[in-house]
Amino acid sequence: MALIVQKFGGTSVGTVERIEQVAEKVKKFREAGDDIVVVVSAMSGETNRLIGLAKQIMEQPVPRELDVMVSTGEQVTIALLSMALIKRGVPAVSYTGNQVRILTDSAHTKARILSIDDANIRADLKAGRVVVVAGFQGVDEHGNITTLGRGGSDTTGVALAAALKADECQIYTDVDGVYTTDPRVVPQARRLDKITFEEMLEMASLGSKVLQIRSVEFAGKYNVPLRVLHSFQEGPGTLITLDEEESMEQPIISGIAFNRDEAKLTIRGVPDTPGVAFKILGPISAANIEVDMIVQNVSHDNTTDFTFTVHRNDYLAALEILKQTAANIGAREATGDTNIAKVSIVGVGMRSHAGVASRMFEALAKETINIQMISTSEIKVSVVIEEKYLELAVRALHTAFELDAPARQGE
């Protein structure tokens, strides 16, 4: 008998009919003898609807009250799924994050999980019940309802799996696994049977939307085997584990991630003095804006050009801060560009293979795609290019690193 935590996202529970289908799937696992904990999101579109209602009252809703409201979306789903299971003769019980006692910090709308009291869940499992838990939410030490931010249900699922020492955490979504890249951009993309936490973390942070970054971090930290599966299609999905051995025998590159939500900011003619990087990035950080890639070039006249990227949503705020900084430190100008994108190659195999970056640059050069910025780590190389070349770059790199699925006979 295995203990499995299953997480179903918003599209998987988007209608009553789909909730009934999820109940059928859970019933099959239960009949096979497994203990099941199910984590669900709000029905697709529901969280946005609730946020929209709040914004009709306040343009910037009070975070505490917003959490109270949006957490109700998952409460509806857990009750419906529990009813659907009970109707099928499967004993089930639903819990909100507060009822489980998923304790978080007090950072409303983006709280982090501190601990989980698993006593009630274990008692229910022992009594033969399926436990259905609301994802995305918890409670702080003062009893306030908190939410974990977009995609937080993934984090709830993995955190529960870690607390319960589950055999596997299954993330059900609208894709049948993790692919070498987005199949909508590269039809020849292949589903990976297995990928390491490290690779998945890079893929998630670099633009792959399959899993939320925090959930992968959590899974890696507590060594919770993760499996990404399609909600309504049978298949093995993709297993995400610590094991690197099998991956080392696969291609050097496991996948190609990309992100269109990037913007580039440049401050030119900065006096090249100690501490100048802090003077530029300090105010950006103070505004809670995350900086991604950074490039600094020193000129012969002892001035420097400093370029960095931020999320496109933060672009206007960051540019305003940078213009003020330019005036304060005597820089020549501050400019920006939103027509950029980031493309990254990821793979643990890069550790034992030289020349990966040059192979990437050669593939882009053949397509006459200019590289504006470069960032590297042990298992990834990222470049910033003009956004209009993004899909061409992804296809070229996918082919260059031999990731294309073999053509079927007759094609």
pLDDT the model gives residue 346:
94
| Residue 173 assigned to a binding site | yes
Per-residue pLDDT for 377 more than 90? no
How do residues 198-217 score in pLDDT, each as one tens digit?
899 888 877 677 787 888 88
Per DSSP, helices labelled H in 186-232 are 197-205, 213-222
Q: Comparing C-alpha atoms, which of 124, 87, 105, 96 is closest to residue 40? A: 96
> How far is 191 from 183, CA to CA, in rounded Å?
9
Mean pLDDT of 184-190: 91
Tell me the C-alpha distance between 109 and 130, whole Å. Answer: 28
What are the two backbone dihedrals, phi and then psi, of residue 285, each rounded to the nearest 5 degrees? -65, -40
Distance CA 241, CA 228 (A): 12
What is residue 207's predicted lDDT score, i.e. its pLDDT?
A: 67
pLDDT greater than 60 at residue 245: no
According to DSSP, the β-strands at 238-241 and 194-196 are: parallel
Q: What pLDDT score does 250 carry?
A: 52
Indicate if the pLDDT at residue 244 is higher than 70: no
Residue 89 pLDDT greater than 60, yes or no: yes
Tell me, what's the pLDDT at 407?
Answer: 57
User: Exposed, middle or buried: residue 387 (CB in 10 Å: 0-12, 13-18, 19+)?
Assistant: middle
- Does the structure show a pLDDT above 50 at 261? yes
- The rounded mean pLDDT for the chain is 91
In the predicted model, what is the mean pLDDT of residues 330-346? 95
Q: Quick check: 368 pLDDT over 90?
A: yes
Q: Starting from the edge strand earliest in sequence, which strands make up the sheet with 137-139, in order?
A: 113-116, 102-104, 137-139, 145-147
DSSP H or E stretch at residue 69: helix 63-70
- Confirm or deny that 33 is annotated as ligand binding: no
Instruction: Flag whether 9 is marked binding.
Output: yes
292 is in an annotated binding site: no
Q: pLDDT confidence of 410, banded at 50, 70, 90?
A: very low
Query: Is position 184 annotated in a ligand binding site?
Result: yes
Specify the CATH superfamily of domain 3-174: Acetylglutamate kinase-like (3.40.1160.10)
Q: Find all residues with CB under 8 Å of 347, minimum gap 6, and list them.
A: 199, 247, 251, 252, 253, 254, 255, 356, 379, 380
Q: How far apart are CA 203 and CA 233, in angstroms?
A: 24
- Range scoring the smallest mean pLDDT among 85-99, 221-235, 240-254, 293-307: 240-254
pLDDT at res. 167: 95
pLDDT of residue 326: 95
Determine how many CB atoms are found less than 10 A away from the CB of residue 129.
Answer: 21
Least confident of 11-25, 227-241, 290-304: 290-304
Q: Which of 278, 308, 177 is nearest to 230 (CA)?
A: 177
Where along the chain do its domains lie? 3-174
Number of continuous H segments (helices) and E segments (strands) in the chain: 14, 18
Residue 47, marked binder: yes
Query: What pLDDT, on a 0 to 100 scale, did the predictor assign at position 350?
Result: 87
Is 264 annotated as a binding-site member?
Answer: no
Tens digit of each residue's pLDDT (9 = 90 or more) over 379-402: 999 999 999 999 999 999 999 999
Tell me the average pLDDT across 27-40.
Answer: 96
To the question of whether residue 8 is assigned a binding role by annotation, the answer is yes
Task: Sheet with 194-196: list strands edge to edge.
Answer: 92-95, 130-134, 35-40, 3-8, 168-173, 226-230, 238-241, 194-196
pTM (two decimals) = 0.81
Does 143 belong to an annotated binding site?
Answer: no
pLDDT at 151 over 80: no
Whether 210 has a binding-site annotation, put simply, is yes
| 351-366: average pLDDT | 91
Residue linked to tokens 């094991």? 243
